[in-house]
Amino acid sequence: MCKGEILPEKTHLDSLSLKYLQELVIGLGMPKFRAMQIYKWIHHKNCEEISDMTDISVADRKKLSEVGVFTSLDVSDIRKSAKDGSVKFLFRLFDGELIEAVILNDGKRFTACISSQVGCLMGCTFCATAKLGLKRNLTTGEIVKQVKRLNEYLADSEKKLNNLVFMGMGEPLDNLDNVKSALTILLDDNGYGFSHRKITLSTCGLTDKITELFEMDTPVNLAVSVNSPDDEIRKEIMPVANKYPLSSLMDVLKKLPLTKRKSITIEYVLLKGFNDSIEDAKKLVKMLKGLDKVKVNLITYNSGAEAGFSSPSEKETLKFQEYLISNNVGVFIRKSLGSDIEGACGQLRAKHEDVS
């Protein structure tokens, strides 16, 4: 599926998969091959004006402009971290809403962290985006265009994105239709040409939607935000745990076809005195037993806008990590990037709203 968003009068051309673009051009009386030309103009040549598509006849460009428009995504703010080189973008959408995306740079690769919704319904207490509630889903075009804008920024230094993670604002599985449509374009060689191994979708654990995601031919990597091996503790910070207990989440993960999934990352934000004890680590090891190809990503908390939590010390973090390693659980530590640029999701937008 990738029908794009049909406005009352016009279609967002950059929301359409090649298949639906072909349907559109045929419906307009153009030859089918026009669709590929238009698709490449949009996704390969950064074209945002139909009049710039110079290898398409003037008559066909006129027909296209009568039905088609481009998604609006304007850069409202850019902040570059002096500490770690990450770059945070605030984008303004056609209705004035603001979303965030970040370029993360580990010295070798550039990873885009993009948003899937304006706000979020999931209510995780450690997250700035949760405070907004869900305002609306992003369209397919708005998701894809974040990648385009970040690549445009990198192009100035002749670089481009290597990886893509859906870890910005919103729960991607709560906007699954548009996210799947965006993935179709991002994975398409004639679109953005990302390998499915280079894209990771992060979820707070909507188990039924995880199953639906894996009905795709080439599902992307999955990261699941767990944050506690204990349902009662998890419920305190992740209301989603009331609907989807860890036992059902683990069941679904264990049943995912190994042929389709490469690995699963369990995300665990370490919160001092809350979920960082050796007892927690023991329960986590027990919970993950029987789950193949899994690794744990320990995240040090970016204590920005959210009150009530802080990060454990480096020593405490290493102790937690060592326990997992000694019990044969693959684990790595990810530092929160961009602490000087409101790096955690939702923080930059929250900052803008504070001052506006």
Catalytic residue list = 100, 345
What is the 8-class DSSP label of residue 257? -
Cβ atoms within 10 Å of 259's Cβ, excluding its own? 5
Q: How far apart are CA 336 and CA 236, in angstroms?
A: 22
Nearer to ligand SF4, 305 or 318 (CB): 305
Please state the closest distance from residue 278 (CB atom) to ligand SF4, in A.
25
Q: Does 223 bind ligand SF4 (CB under 6 A)?
A: no
Contact by Cβ (8 Å): 76, 98? yes
Q: Does 172 bind ligand SF4 (CB under 6 A)?
A: no
Nearer to ligand SF4, 192 or 301 (CB): 301
Q: How far apart are CA 5 and CA 8, in angstroms?
A: 10
Q: Does 130 bind ligand SF4 (CB under 6 A)?
A: yes
Nearer to ligand SF4, 204 or 341 (CB): 204
Contact by Cβ (8 Å): 160, 152? no
Q: Does 176 bind ligand SF4 (CB under 6 A)?
A: no
What is the 8-class DSSP label of residue 310? -
Q: Which two tokens stand for residue 287?
A: 């919970």
Q: How far apart are CA 269 and CA 242, in angstroms?
A: 19
Q: Does 143 bind ligand SF4 (CB under 6 A)?
A: no
Please state the closest distance from residue 160 (CB atom) to ligand SF4, in A.
26
- Which residue among 16, 47, 90, 120 contacts ligand SF4 (CB under 6 A)? 120
Stretch of residues binding ligand SF4 (CB under 6 A), selected from 20-28, 89-97, 123-131, 270-278: 123-131
- Which residue among 68, 170, 304, 338 contacts ligand SF4 (CB under 6 A)? 170
What binding mask, one character per residue, do residues 23-62 give for ligand SF4 by CB under 6 A, x or -? ----------------------------------------
Q: How far apart are CA 153 and CA 148, in angstroms?
A: 9
How many binding residues for ligand SF4 (CB under 6 A)? 12
Q: How far apart are CA 104 and CA 354, in angstroms?
A: 25
Contact by Cβ (8 Å): 342, 102? no
CB proximity list for 247: less than 8 A, separation 6 or greater? none
What is the 8-class DSSP label of residue 200? E
State which of positions 333-352 bind ligand SF4 (CB under 6 A): 345
- Which residue among 100, 171, 267, 276 contacts ligand SF4 (CB under 6 A)? 171
Q: Does 127 bind ligand SF4 (CB under 6 A)?
A: yes
- Which residue among 25, 64, 122, 223 contacts ligand SF4 (CB under 6 A)? 122
CA distances (Å), origin 188, targets 19, 114, 268, 331 = 11, 18, 32, 32
Q: Does 206 bind ligand SF4 (CB under 6 A)?
A: no
To 10 degrees, what angle do helices 176-187 and 140-155 make? 40
Q: Does 175 bind ligand SF4 (CB under 6 A)?
A: no
Q: Does 267 bind ligand SF4 (CB under 6 A)?
A: no
Where does this chain bind ligand SF4 (CB under 6 A)? 120, 122-124, 127, 129-130, 169-171, 204, 345
